[in-house]
Structures are given as structure tokens and as C-alpha cells.
Chain A
Amino acid sequence: MSRDLLAGLRPPPPPTELRVRVLAAAHRAAPTVASPSRRRESLLDRLWAARWLRLAWLGAVLVLLAIHADLAGRDAPTRVPMPTYAETAGDGSFDLFRPRPSPWTLAQFRNPTTEPGLGL
């Protein structure tokens, strides 16, 4: 229906002289040397463009994965469980962490709220 509504009609074509004008303007505006970004391909582009480079890249990744798996299986360190406190309590390992007796007694500490001389 909507197609029928616009049937037989079309947008007017661009004027013929526009082609010359547009191309001349584009030619004037274009740099003399083609844009470097259009010419220069990045390493990733080149890798993606060549099949043998893609295969080489894939092969290198697979070799690295295989080596990693092999080394991980071969030289894995054995896990040593952490000793519990009960196991190490008697061997003196925790002696350094035991509280030492204080040279001050509780009575030697002044209470600032009850001490008459302090005036608080």
C-alpha cells in the first residue's frame, strides 16, 4: 500500500554538473600522498591477512600451551600442610609471642579521675 502511494515517483537525480564539482573538490582536498593510515597496515592486519602467518601464530600459541601444560605437570611443588597450633605448641615456636610480665603493677598506674592532685 505504502509502496503504491509512492509508486511512479522517485527522488530527482543530482544535476549533471555536480559530478565535476564534487570530484574536483575531493581532488583538491585530498592529500598528494595517500593517507598513511590507508596505506600502512598494522602488524595485526598483516597477521590476519596472510593465512600462513595466521597458522604460524596459532602453532606458536599451541606450542606454548603444550609446554606450559608439560611443565606444570612435571615440576609442580608438593603441597605441605600448614602445622596446627597443637602440633607446634610444644616445640617453642610460639615462645616469642607469649606475653612477658610487665615491670609495672596495676597500682602504679594513676587514675586521673580520682587522683586529687591532678584537679580533674
Chain B
Amino acid sequence: MLPSTSLAKTERPTADGGADLELVFRRFAAGESPALAQLYDLCAAELYGLALWRCGSRSEAEDAVQEVFVRLATTTADLSRVRNPRAYLLTMARRAACDLLHRRHPGEPLGALVVAAEVTHPTVVVDAERASHHLRALPAAQREAIYLRHFAGLTFAEIGAITGVPKFTAASRCRNGLDRLRTLLGVEL
């Protein structure tokens, strides 16, 4: 069973981190190419996590992150018009992951550990493996909604904007996914 209270909460992006990301993104949009490396440092983990949860494969998640940054470097779009850089980048990562999923062989199984323990403790590692196992059983849409809500800390409206569904649908996906995960893990409500 997953530990519930003894462990620290999942690290979430702070307001300062968001401001930094926005600042660096604006600099990159203004033509500062070196800002791309800083942009990577600020958001690669989040993009990688989303792609991993969407694809369930580490190699494809890496490809998706690479695709995002290559597209950023080559885009002809006016990036200064982007209102929410974080949501924009997450949307790009999701689309790249979806493209990779479409190209993948249909019967290929998912094998990556999509969630890891935050602290190194034997029970937590086992739980992380169990959680990863059951998370892979969830539909990809529910998995990504859970990720965006609980690890990226986005609102349902933002999740809906990123995934292209109404916010109520995003909320339903998240709730249904968590309910199913709870059932699979055998956690009492």
C-alpha cells in the first residue's frame, strides 16, 4: 500500500519557477538563442514526465522532449504572442508524445516506470513499482490528466486547454483515473 502521510509532498512548481520560465521564454522569443538551454533546465523534467506518462516509454519520452526543443528552435511562429509559456510547452510535449504513440507498433507493451519514489526507502520503492504497474493499466488520457493535476499542479481549465477537452471532462478523467487507481491499489476510501 502506498504511504500516505509519512512522506513529504510531491514537489510542485512554485510561482517563482513559473515566473522564471516565463521570463526565459520571453527572452528566447525575443531572439536570444542561449535561453533555450535555460528553458530546458526549467521545464524539461515536467515535459519528460508528461511524455513518459503519455507514452509509457522512456525512449519515446526522450524523443518527445527532443522534438519539443527542435520545434522551438525552428518554429516560424511568433513566440512572443504566447500567453502561457508553460501550458504552451506542455501542449507541445503532449502533441509530440501523441505523434510518437501513433507511429508506434500497436501491440508494443509499455514498460517504463512512470512514477518513482521521492525518497529511497524499501517500502516506497515497492509501492512506486506497484503504482507504476497500475498506472500503466489506466487509459492514457486519465494518466495524463492525473499527471498534469498532481505533479504539474495545473487547474482543470489548464488541463482542458492542454489536452483539448472541456475542463469538466478533464476533471472527470482525473477523478475516474484516481478512483480506478485507488481500486487497483486496494486503498480504502
The number of chain A residues with a CB under 8 A from chain B is 31
Chain B interface SS verdict (over half): helix
Task: Report if A4-B4 is in contact (Cβ < 8 Å); known contacts: A10-B10, A19-B44, A26-B70.
Answer: yes
Whether a CB of chain B sits under 8 angstroms from the CB of A7 is: yes
Q: Mark B20-36, 1 if CB is under 8 A from A, else 0.
A: 00000000011101001
> How long is the Cα–Cα vector from A18 to B52 in the complex, in angstroms?
14
CB closest residue in chain A, given B70: A29
Task: Report if A11-B150 is in contact (Cβ < 8 Å); known contacts: A23-B40, A26-B36, A37-B77.
Answer: no
Q: Write out the residue numbers on chain A whose beta carbons fall within 8 Å of the beta carbon of B150.
A: 2-3, 6
Shortest distance in angstroms between B172's beta carbon and chain A's nearest beta carbon?
13
Whether a CB of chain A sits under 8 angstroms from the CB of B3 is: yes
Q: Write out the residue numbers on chain B whose beta carbons fall within 8 Å of the beta carbon of A22.
A: 40, 44, 65-66, 69-70
Q: Mark A11-42, 1 if CB is under 8 A from B, else 0.
A: 11111001101110111011100110111000
List residues 26-82 of chain B with CB under 8 A from any CB of chain A: 29-31, 33, 36-37, 40-41, 44-45, 48-49, 52-53, 58, 61-62, 65-66, 69-70, 72-80
**Does the CB pair B36–A12 fall under 8 Å?**
no
CB closest residue in chain B, given A37: B76
**Does the CB pair A23–B69 fall under 8 Å?**
yes
Shortest distance in angstroms between A28's beta carbon and chain B's nearest beta carbon?
8
**Does the CB pair B52–A12 fall under 8 Å?**
yes
**Does the CB pair B69–A11 fall under 8 Å?**
no
CB closest residue in chain A, given B5: A4
Q: Write out the residue numbers on chain B whose beta carbons fall within 8 Å of the beta carbon of A34.
A: 31, 33
**Does the CB pair B40–A8 fall under 8 Å?**
no
**Does the CB pair A9–B131 fall under 8 Å?**
yes
**Does the CB pair B2–A8 fall under 8 Å?**
yes
Shortest distance in angstroms between A38's beta carbon and chain B's nearest beta carbon?
6
List residues 129-177 of chain B with CB under 8 A from any CB of chain A: 131, 146-147, 150-151, 174
CB closest residue in chain B, given A35: B76
Q: Write out the residue numbers on chain A whose beta carbons fall within 8 Å of the beta carbon of B174.
A: 2
**Does the CB pair B115–A6 fall under 8 Å?**
yes
Task: Report if A7-B116 is in contact (Cβ < 8 Å); known contacts: A25-B70, A30-B74, A37-B77.
Answer: no
**Can you list 9 A-B contacts with CB-CB less than 8 angstroms, sorted by A residue number?**
A10-B115, A10-B116, A11-B115, A11-B151, A22-B44, A23-B69, A29-B74, A34-B31, A37-B76
User: Taking beta carbons and an 8 Å cutoff, which residues of A are in contact with B?
Assistant: 1-15, 18-19, 21-23, 25-27, 29-31, 34-35, 37-39
8 extra interchain contacts, Cβ-Cβ under 8 A, other than A23-B40, A29-B70, A29-B73? Answer: A5-B178, A5-B185, A7-B3, A8-B2, A11-B52, A11-B147, A22-B66, A26-B66
